[in-house]
Amino acid sequence: MPVAATDLYIRHFPFWPELSPDEKALLAERTRPVRYRAGELVQRQAGDCVGVLFVKNGRLRAYTLSEDGREVTLYRLFPGDVGVMAATCALVAVTFHIILDAETDTEALLTDAGAFRQLAAGNVHVRCFGYELAAGRLSEMLRQMQQVLFLRADRRLALFLRRESRRQGKAALRLTHDQIARYMGSAREVVSRLLKHFAREGIVAPGRGVVTILDEARLDELAGPEDGGREAL
């Protein structure tokens, strides 16, 4: 593993100081840089077990499919994030399978699942890291599924736009109706209808491939609290 890659592991993986020299050597030997083009499938739902991904730049999206083929986004990985759900075969009792693709051109470090399984079996710090990260992702996925099941579509859209605006630090969001529908687990027609309604209320200004938030206070009012039970997820 190049020195720069090792430095990333030292900074972002709390178990690094607890590894033996042999374990550090195994991690270095079985970690490699990977690149994915926008739209490329990283992991299919069944049978794949890619490994642990550390995102250097770009974005990855984890999702599942409904029976009618609708995509429901479960979570997204941004620069600095670690994706362990693509290595669930290395974690006993974690068997939730996801589909993972690249939203944009993405560079990452990939530790193969076999090496992570070996480290987790022999080092409690690695094992705890894996389970804690998996538990956090599962909680995030549950929250997303609860939103899909229990929240009105207009509130889910408001929550998504507010969250995305805060993440990007700007009001003009480069998003198509199709993308928003995938993130929300909804239909494009529903998103288009709601955006037209928001526009009539002066909350947003939809454009070609962009949605601009005009009234943040009204959007906050419609979105409500970020967390707080079924009616506030």
The pLDDT value given to residue 73? 87
Q: Mean pLDDT for the chain?
A: 84
141 and 156 housed in the same domain: no
130 and 170 housed in the same domain: no
Question: Residue 27 is part of a domain; what is its CATH number?
Answer: 2.60.120.10
The pLDDT value given to residue 185? 80
User: Locate tokens 């079924």: which residue?
Assistant: 230
50: amino acid identity, one letter = V
Q: Examine the fold and report which residue of 110, 128, 148 is the final residue of a domain before the chain moves on.
A: 148
143 and 160 housed in the same domain: no
Q: 6 near 109, Cβ under 8 Å? A: no
Residue 169 has pLDDT above 50, yes or no: yes
The pLDDT value given to residue 6? 62
Least confident of 17-31, 59-73, 198-212: 59-73
Tell me which residue range forms the domain holding 202.
Answer: 151-232
The CA angle 33-34-38, to the nearest 5 degrees, is 145
Count of domains in the chain?
2
Q: Examine the fold and report which residue of 128, 148, 168 is the final residue of a domain before the chain moves on.
A: 148
- pLDDT bucket at 2, cuts 50 / 70 / 90: low
33 and 110 housed in the same domain: yes
Dihedral through CA 9, CA 13, CA 15, CA 18, nearest 10? 30
Alpha carbons 198 and 180: distance in angstroms, whole number:
14
Query: What's the whole-number mean pLDDT along residues 24-39?
Result: 91
